[in-house]
Structures are given as structure tokens and as C-alpha cells.
Amino acid sequence: MAEPPSRAEYWKRNVRYVAILLAIWFAVSYGAGILLVEPLNRIRIGGFQLGFWFAQQGSMYVFVILIFVYVRLMNRLDRAFDVDEREGGR
Amino acid sequence: MNIQAWTFVIVGLSFALYIGVAMWARARSTGEFYVAASQVRPVVNGMATAADWMSAASFISMAGLIAFMGRDGSVYLMGWTGGYVLLALLLAPYLRKFGKYTVPDFVGDRYYSRTARVVAVVCAIFVSFTYVAGQMRGVGIVFSRFLNVPIELGVIIGMGIVFFYAVLGGMKGITYTQVAQYCVLIAAYLIPAIFISLLMTGQVIPQLGFGSTLADGSGTYLLDRLDGLTDELGFGRYTAGRKTTWDVLAITAALMVGTAGLPHVIVRFYTVRKVSAARSSAGWALLFIALLYTSAPAVAAFARTNLLTTVTDTRYADAPSWFKNWEATGLIAFEDRNGDGLIQYRGPASDVANELTIDRDIMVLANPEIARLPAWVVGLVAAGALAAALSTAAGLLLVISTSVAHDLLKKTLVPDIPEHRELLVARIAAGFAVLIAGYFGIRPPGFVAEVVALAFGLAAASFFPAIIMGIFSTRMNREGAVSGMIAGISFTAAYIIWFKFMHPELNTVTHWWLGISPEGIGAVGMLVNVAVAVAVSALTAPPPPSVQRLVQEIRVPRGAGPGHELQA
């Protein structure tokens, strides 16, 4: 195998993942749940007004998904850059 | 069996379970006492974190708060869950790699400064005591309402239980007890929620029932009916907001960042075996928390609708039996102002005088009776509320004892203390902390509710930025971090003390700076911290090379040892 890619590159990719995921985190909570709540409330899904749904339900579902997506992305990145942990925590 | 007998049996069984688990998982070393020897599996840690985090306030008060706040209640829902995204992405994996025991450990080592460590210790102890006093009070209240025991005796029983497993078991005992407590509390929350959802909408899943049509055959959506009722009775539409957008933004941000900065939550991520496990256990924790947090707004809407339809303009003589039961506890009070024998329940915008006052807490506590559930469910709710309070109290007591034994004694005052002595001191400190917490539970200072805002604000304005900058910047130095923390804390504390203690009469939206309430000011305090830290750091010398290497080292997962292998 070629020389493992640098740790600086690993860190850059990590920061990019975090930035993208936090942008979604911001969009569903502060965006859809707070700043855009009134315009979104004109859209209805069943008994919910959409903005209200994001504020009291949707944002929380997205939060859970974001963390598990991050876990998968990072596990892959750790292996690709050969910085993952071996069994036994070493 | 009647309600009280069932409550005694179920609460007794749950306590026996916790004690059994604590005996099985006793701590034998400081590593086990502080961080369960970093051997906890991610799902288990997620469950323990969920129980650690969800307190008496989440279990008893949150749904009631939302029921009366309507859409504005979402600041708690988003604020107290969104913080876990920050924890998972920005804090947990790096702190686990760092691998020491406490938050002050990280702050002290990363900023090569005893001052920084002491500032962090003082904040950790203050935040934890604020919280634990509320939990002990919660234990006392549940005992007195469900078991007719005096509040004082209830607090003492709760102290005894926590003392037993926190002092003996340390983090290891607490972790496994918290898993049991999570199971009890989530069952106690979801069972009544499912039944009340069935009753109101015919939907089994409360999260779906929340957006469904009512089961009364009218074909009206629950939320539309609720909007109509609240509007008509002068409370303002349920799904409309009343706070200013700025304030909602600030409170949500302060609660999110504060959650991610709470020491008893952060320390849980030191207990897992690997960095990747720290990431995934944050995901599990939020999943387990979200089970309750997504049900709570549904419960809130069901309970509010139910309350308005069954009580409003009913003849007092025909009021449902739960109404009479809870009236006896003083949590519902009816005063027939116009003497017509009807219960007029009205909001501030109505021209009819309101005759009913309702304590928000009964929304969860009275739910089983409102939904006409069997007596054992009421007992289960009592056991769930106790589980929520006890698990949070134990986690907080551990932070206090670790702060005293490890951060103050071992790392600051007596560095060469042998391990068995340190462990003894940690146990004694936990014991003392239980006594002080119990004292505040029995004689609560009048300002408990006020200082909770302060606790979140301080966590947001101190720990969170200091830790983030310590990980994501190699340039941030001691001078910057310490002055940032002090500026953030002073700003936040001054704002809260001004409005909450010195001039409570001015505590209204017209006097607030940018319309931001004291509850939300921690978010601004965090920005103050960052601005000061960056400016001061740019003007002073960069951190020594060994610290810069430490930062590089915590950014990669490989090499995370069990506990204290990584040296600065």
C-alpha cells in the first residue's frame, strides 16, 4: 500500500463533514422551527402545520439521524486514513 | 389493590432493583469510580446518558410546560436535544481520546494552567449543586403526592438510596443503575402516553396521534380543535408563538450549548472503550432521549385538549373524579367568582373572568387518571418520576465528588496522594454532597428556579467555548481561554443577576437587551467568551509545542487508551 494520506487531510475532511452536518442541524431547528416557522405553517401535512411540526417533532428526528450519519462517515474516514482503533482500544 | 398499595409495591420493587444492581457493580479503583474503567458499551452508555440527562423536570414538568406554552415550548424540545448533535460532532470523540477523568482535567491540561482548572472546577460544582437540589426536591414531591409521606421523609429516603449506590458504586454502579432507571422511566412515560393517544385519536403511536383527527367522530384534527379552543377561550392559538423570534433563538441556543457543556453529561463519554464508541453512544443517547422528547409534545396537546373539553363550563358538582382528587392536593384550585356553579376556565384575552388555577405539573402526573387507566399505571408513573430524579441526582453527585477528590485534591492541592486515599476522599465527598443536596431538598432556597437559568447560562458561556476552541484551534492559548471564560461568565451572571435578583420588576421584554430574556443570555455570553478569547490569544504567545502536539494527538482516534495513558 502507498504511504497513508496525511493527518492534516484527515482533519480537513472531518471538519468538512462536521460543517455540512451542522448546516443541516441549523436549517431544521433554527431555520424551519424558528425563523421560517410562519411561512412553513401555511403548508399542512395531516393535522400538522409544517413549521410547528419541525419545531416540536421533525427537528428531533433529524438530530438523531445526523449523529448516526456522522458515526458512519467517520468510521469510514478513520479506516481510509488508517487512524481507526484496533480491537482492545489500542 | 388501590392506587396507594400499587404505588408502594412498584416503587419498592424498583428500589430493590436499583440496590441489587448497585451491589453487583461496585467500584474498586479510582478508574472504576470516576469513569467505570472506560469499559461501558455504547448502547449501555447511551441508555445511562439518557437517564442521567432526563431529570425530574423532563419527566414531570416538561409536557406540562409545553401544554401551557404551546408552540413556544419547542425551545425546550429543540434546546435539550440539539445539544447532543454538538456533543457528538464537536466534543465527545476528542474528549474520549484525551481520556482523562473530568472536564476540568481537559481544561487544565489543554491550557497548561491551574487557574483555568480552578475556574472550571468552580463552575462544575456550582452547576451540579444547582441541579441536584432540584432533583432532591422532586423526589420529595413525588413521595408526598403519591405515598402521602411528608416531603422531608421522602427526601431522606431518596438520599439514602442515592447515597448507597453513588458512594459504593461510583460511576460503575451509577451506570448500570441508570440503565435500569431508564427502562423504568421510559415505560412509565410511554404507557400512559399510548393509552391517552388511543383515547383521544384512536392512534397507538402518540407522535402520529398528535397529527391525527379526534376519535369523537367529528373528523376534526386534534391540533385544529386545540387551536380553536385556546383561541375562543382567550389563551391565544396553541400553535402560534408568543415570544419574540430573537428570544426563541437565544433560549434555544443557550439550552443547546448549555446541554453540551454540562459536566455530568460530558463525563459519560469518558466511560466508553473507544473513540468510535463515544460517537455512537451519543447517537444512542439521543435516540433514547428522543423517545420521551417526541412523546412529550403529543402528551401536552392531548392533555390540554382534554382539560379544556372536560372542564370548561362544566358544573363544578359534575367535575370528573381526577379533578376532585387533584384539588385535594392544592394543585387545582377553583374559585366560583360569579357564583353560577360552572367552572369558567379562561385566558388573559377573554372578557370572562378566569376561575381556575392549575399547576402545570399535574399534566403528566394526572394523565393516567384522566385517561382512566388501571391503578398500577399510576404507581408506575410515580416510580418513573423517582427514577428520573434519582438517576440525574446520582450523576451530579459523582461530578461533585470527582471535582473535589480529583480536580481539587489530587491535581491542585496534594498531588502525591495514594490511590486508595483518593478513592476514600471521593466517597466521603459524595457522602457530603448527598447531605448538602438533601438539605436543599428539604429547605429549598426560594431561588431554585432562577438559578437553573444561571446553571445553563454558565455552562454555555464557560465550558463549551473553551473546550471547542481547545480542540479546533491549536493556536488558542492559556491567556485567551482564561480571559474568555471569565468574560463569558461575568457577562452572563451579571445579566441574570440584574434581572432575576436585583430588579425582578424590570424582567420584561421591553427592558431586555435585544428582547433576549435571562434564560437565553447564555448564548450571547458564549459569543462574548469566543470574541474575547480570540482577541487576547492573538495578542499573546502561542501555546508551548507539547500542548500543540496534544491537540494534534486528540484529533485522531487511534491510540485511545483506557483512561490515563495519554500524557501532555
Q: Which residues of A touch B282 (CB under 8 A)?
A: 67
Q: Nearest 5°: CA angle at B50, between B256 and B277?
A: 90
Whether B334 and B377 share a structural domain? no
User: Does any domain span residue B464?
Assistant: no
Look at residue B531 in the predicted model and tell me its pLDDT: 97
CB contact under 8 A, A25 and B82: yes
For residue A24, give its domain range.
Answer: 7-80
* Residues B192 and B271 both lie in one domain: yes
In B297-427, the DSSP E strands lie at 332-334, 356-358
Cell of A26: 441549523
Position A5 scores a pLDDT of 62
For residues B177 and B325, state if they share a domain: no
- The confidence score (pLDDT) of residue B409 equals 81
Query: What letter would DSSP give residue B556?
Result: S
Q: Which residue of B has its CA nearest to A30?
A: B249
* Cell numbers that stand for B85 in this block: 448533535
Retrieve residue B487's grid coordinates. Answer: 468574560
Kindly state whether residues B360 and B219 are assigned to the same domain: no
Last residue of a domain, one of B399, B414, B445: B445
Torsion of CA B73, B377, B286, A73, to 10 degrees: -130
- How crowded is residue B217: how many other Cβ atoms within 10 Å of its Cβ? 7
For residue B27, the model assigns a pLDDT of 75
Per residue in B194-234, pLDDT (tens digit) is 999 998 899 999 999 999 999 888 889 999 999 999 998 98
A57 and B89 within 8 Å at the Cβ level: the answer is no
Q: Which residue has 412509565 as its cell numbers? A: B188
CATH code assigned at B177: 1.10.4160
User: How many CA atoms, within 13 angstroms, populate the side-chain half-sphere of residue B231?
Assistant: 10
Q: Are B84 and A67 spatial neighbours (Cβ–Cβ below 8 Å)? A: yes
Res B568: pLDDT:
30
Output phi, psi for B416, to 5 deg: -100, 25
Given a cut of 70, the residues of chain B with pLDDT beneath it are 444-451, 453, 561-568
SS (H, E, C) chain A: CCCCCCHHHHHHHHHHHHHHHHHHHHHHHHHHHHHCHHHHCCCEECCEEHHHHHHHHHHHHHHHHHHHHHHHHHHHHHHHCCCCCCHHHC
Q: Test A10 with B212 for CB contact under 8 angstroms.
A: no
Task: For residues B179 and B171, give the distance between their C-alpha atoms in angstroms, rounded to a whole number.
Answer: 12
Name the domain boundary from B325, B352, B367: B367
Cβ of residue B279 closer than 8 Å to a chain A Cβ: yes
Question: Rounded to a whole number, what is the distance in Å from the CA of A5 to chain B's nearest CA?
Answer: 13
Same domain, B229 and B378: yes
Q: Which range marks the domain in which residue B175 is found? A: 3-304+369-445
Per-residue pLDDT, B561:
64
Residue B128's pLDDT is 85
User: Given this model, what pLDDT does residue B286 score?
Assistant: 96
Banded pLDDT at A84 (limits 50, 70, 90): confident
Closest-CA residue of chain A to B279: A71
C-beta atoms of A48 and B210 within 8 A: yes
How sure is the predictor about A89, in pLDDT bands with cuts at 50, 70 and 90?
very low
**CA dist., res. B403 & res. B418, Å (int):** 17
CA-nearest residue of chain A to B248? Answer: A34
Tell whether A25 is covered by a domain.
yes
Residue of A nearest to B256 (CA): A29
Check whether residue B363 and residue B386 sit in a common domain: no
Residue A13 lies in a domain: yes
In a domain, A27, yes or no: yes
- Segment A6-26 mean pLDDT: 94
In a domain, B561, yes or no: no
Name residue, grid cell 502507498: A2
Do both B291 and B317 map to the same domain? Answer: no
Residue A76 C-alpha, separation from nearest chain B C-alpha, in angstroms: 11
* CB-CB neighbours of B139 under 10 Å: 28
Q: Establish if A85 belongs to a structural domain.
A: no
Angle at A23 between CA A38 and CA B43, to 5 degrees: 105
Q: Tell me which amino acid residue B272 is.
A: V
A46 part of a folded domain: yes
- Pairs of residues, one from chain A and one from chain B, whose beta carbons lie less than 8 Å apart: 140
Could you report the per-residue pLDDT of B362-375, keeping only the tens digit for each?
Answer: 788 787 887 788 88
What is the model's pLDDT at position A87?
Answer: 54
CB B126 within 8 A of CB B487: no
Phi, psi of B78, deg, nearest 5: -75, -40
Q: Does A67 map to a domain?
A: yes
Mean pLDDT, to the nearest integer, of A8-25?
95
The amino acid occupying position A65 is I
Q: Which residues of A touch B40 (CB under 8 A)?
A: none
**β partners of residue B40:** B272
The pTM of this model reads: 0.91
B282 and B233, same structural domain? yes
Q: Give the Cα separation of B383 and B146 in Å (integer).
A: 10
Mapped onto helix, strand or coil, the DSSP state of residue B99 is coil
Residues B273 and B256 in one domain: yes
Q: Which residues of B touch A37 (CB under 8 A)?
A: 71, 241
Any domain includes B400: yes
- For residue A11, being part of any structural domain is answered with yes
Separation CA B101–CA B117 (nearest Å): 13
Instruction: Tell me, yes or no, whether B514 lies in a domain.
Output: no
Q: Are residues B84 and B227 in the same domain?
A: yes
- The count of structural domains within chain B is 2
- Residue B460 maps to a domain: no
Contact B286 A64 (CB under 8 A): yes
Verify that B127 and B232 share a domain, yes or no: yes
Nearest-Å Rg of the Cα atoms of chain A is: 18
Nearest to B527 by CA among B484, B496, B497, B486: B484
Q: Please, which residues 58-77 of chain B have a Cβ atom closer than 8 Å to chain A?
A: 66, 71, 73-74, 77
Identify the H or E element spanning B128.
helix B114-147
Residue A3 has pLDDT above 60, yes or no: no
At B365 the pLDDT is: 79
The Cα–Cα gap between B547 and B566 comes to 12
Query: Are B91 and B214 contained in the same domain?
Result: yes
- Looking at the structure of chain A, the number of domains it has is 1
- A90 in any annotated domain: no
Inside any domain, residue B461: no
- Cβ within 8 Å, pair B276-A18: no
C-alpha cell at A13: 475532511
Q: Which residues of A touch B65 (CB under 8 A)?
A: none
Q: Is B287 within 8 Å of B45 (Cβ atoms)?
A: no
DSSP string of B180-225, one letter each residue: HHHHHHHHHHHHHHHHHHHHHHS-SSHHHHTTSB-TTTT--BHHHH
Report pLDDT digits (tens) over A48-79: 999 999 999 999 999 999 999 999 999 999 99
Phi, then psi, of B101 in degrees rounded to 5 = -90, -30
- The residues, any chain, with a CB within 8 Å of residue B559's CB and separated by 6 or more, are A85, A90, B97, B553, B566
